[in-house]
Structure 1
């Protein structure tokens, strides 16, 4: 293996280490994409299995496994508890989600829930520079609303402007509402509810469309990254073989490619494959002699 001794040089050791690191990184990226694919599959499965189920009472909502379950809430909105959620487009349009607190009952005990009333265009909510923004406040009085359960989102480590929130996390929703409004409220449900009803009044939030169940390209991307991981490993033997072939032409510091060698000389030096012996096609005389020899051998027995 002397022809591959160059693999022990710093240049090649560096290349081998680099390709190993690249291969491992590609494997991790492939696993990450596959994880995203599994998340999409789980979310799509949960949506399709739950979306068309019949409405259930709030007591039957036990946790994240009930995501998208339709339920009814009887109670009233907390006055002055409305806040806006930025950065969530709807149908690829800039939108603002309208959030408010709702006091209801569960098992005979009062409970505060975060209700997403729907969405409005961002320009409507925040104005266009010439007119002020406007979002219809929640209705007053006792009522029954229908809404779908959604899990709580992760907390967001950033302070939003007054009247806004950055995430649908119950604790951070309460933190975005004036303390004199939230003081004395019943315990807060660990989750949120998205209303399915809407009002035709001007400025009223609109309901959200049914989420898409498409899985995206994550599975294809995961296989692409795995292919890149194999390709990174294949780079070393391919380049090493090419360099070994190039080095074979250099003998005692002389590059034989610069010399006008004949094919026979190249074969003698091992730089070209040896020529296979030519197979002579037998002539008619050879065939006739062979037949006569076989006939003579048979007659002599």
Structure 2
């Protein structure tokens, strides 16, 4: 009854099933591992942020370049404040305001962007306090350059003079006359009159939309694997039912008239002669006797 499974048609179906199921399971497992990695990164980032608050500050040069391990760590730098910019449309404690960003010129000739604090209101009308004069040593959480469109960073451009949308070397290179570090810090204690800006987690370490997309893809691949098994079982049952019906005589295989071969030319002639002979005999037998 199951001999049909060895036919060429079913060999092709079986090979496809044997390849499709492991592939679906592999892809589902891979997407699940990606989700678990993002969950672990989220936990590590939280633990790192908590530990960074109690760790002793380190010199800036020892923490560069910024990566997932060094992001959020307390860094110190010494220099003199230079050009100041405002970063509008930033929220803190569910209130709209702006960051006060000042360039700290260090001894090596480069400038480190320093977020000295946050102020409520409109960056175009609210006056920000001036930076301290003379040499200063700052301490704050090290941060990687921002990317427009992430972590609340506006993606639109066209800001007025004295303002910038993102804190990054790529955005600031045309706004300040200094060479810049590819990093910035937010002061642990804001300057007078402002609120300290908390450090943000590094990119790709949170339970964002990408993480839940990985979880959704995991379910889809496992559903595909189950659907493949279901369809194979359904096809097999149909073949078995058809074979059983054929054995019981419940189905008749009627040949397709279009597939019936035409008689050969000689056979056609003999058939025509036979028909003519039968017709002549019929005429003789039907004629009246004298």
* TM-score, normalising length: structure 1: 0.56
127, 130, 133: which is aligned to 1:141? 133
User: Aligned pair in 2 of structure 1 residues 32, 57: CA closer, same or farther (>3 Å)?
Assistant: closer
- SS state of the match for residue 79, structure 2? strand
Q: Name the residue aligned to 1:208.
A: 197
Q: Name the residue aligned to 1:69.
A: 73
Q: How many residues align?
A: 230
Residue segments in structure 1 that go unaligned for 5+ positions in a row: 127-131, 257-301
User: Aligned pair in 2 of structure 1 residues 255, 172: CA closer, same or farther (>3 Å)?
Assistant: farther
Contact persistence 1:51–1:70 (CA under 8 A): yes
Is the aligned partner of 1:171 residue 2:163?
Answer: no
| Cα drift, residue 148 of structure 1 | 2.0
78, 87, 96: which is aligned to 1:84? 87
Q: Name the residue aligned to 2:284.
A: none
Give deviations 1:248-300, integer Å, cap 9, x for gaps: 444249997xxxxxxxxxxxxxxxxxxxxxxxxxxxxxxxxxxxxxxxxxxxx
Greater Rg by CA: 2
Q: How does 1:117-266 map to 2 (within 5 A)?
A: 117-121=116-120, 124-125=121-122, 133-142=125-134, 143-153=136-146, 160-163=157-160, 164-175=163-174, 177=175, 182-183=176-177, 185=178, 187-201=179-193, 204=194, 206-209=195-198, 216=207, 225-250=217-242, 251-252=245-246
Give deviations 1:180-223, integer Å, cap 9, x for gaps: xx33x3x422311111222453xx3x213466899649889866
* TM-score, normalising length: structure 2: 0.58
| Cα drift, residue 113 of structure 1 | 0.6
Contact persistence 1:95–1:119 (CA under 8 A): yes
Contact persistence 1:82–1:99 (CA under 8 A): yes
> What root-mean-square deviation, in Å, do the aligned CA atoms of Structure 1 and Structure 2 show?
4.4
Q: Name the residue aligned to 1:98.
A: 100
Contact persistence 1:20–1:232 (CA under 8 A): no
Q: Name the residue aligned to 1:54.
A: 56
User: Aligned pair in 2 of structure 1 residues 224, 174: CA closer, same or farther (>3 Å)?
Assistant: closer
Residue segments in structure 2 that go unaligned for 5+ positions in a row: 150-154, 251-290
Q: Name the residue aligned to 1:276.
A: none
User: Aligned pair in 2 of structure 1 residues 48, 199: CA closer, same or farther (>3 Å)?
Assistant: closer
Q: Name the residue aligned to 2:271.
A: none
User: Aligned pair in 2 of structure 1 residues 104, 22: CA closer, same or farther (>3 Å)?
Assistant: same
Structure 2 CA distance for aligned equivalents of residues 6 and 117 of structure 1: 77
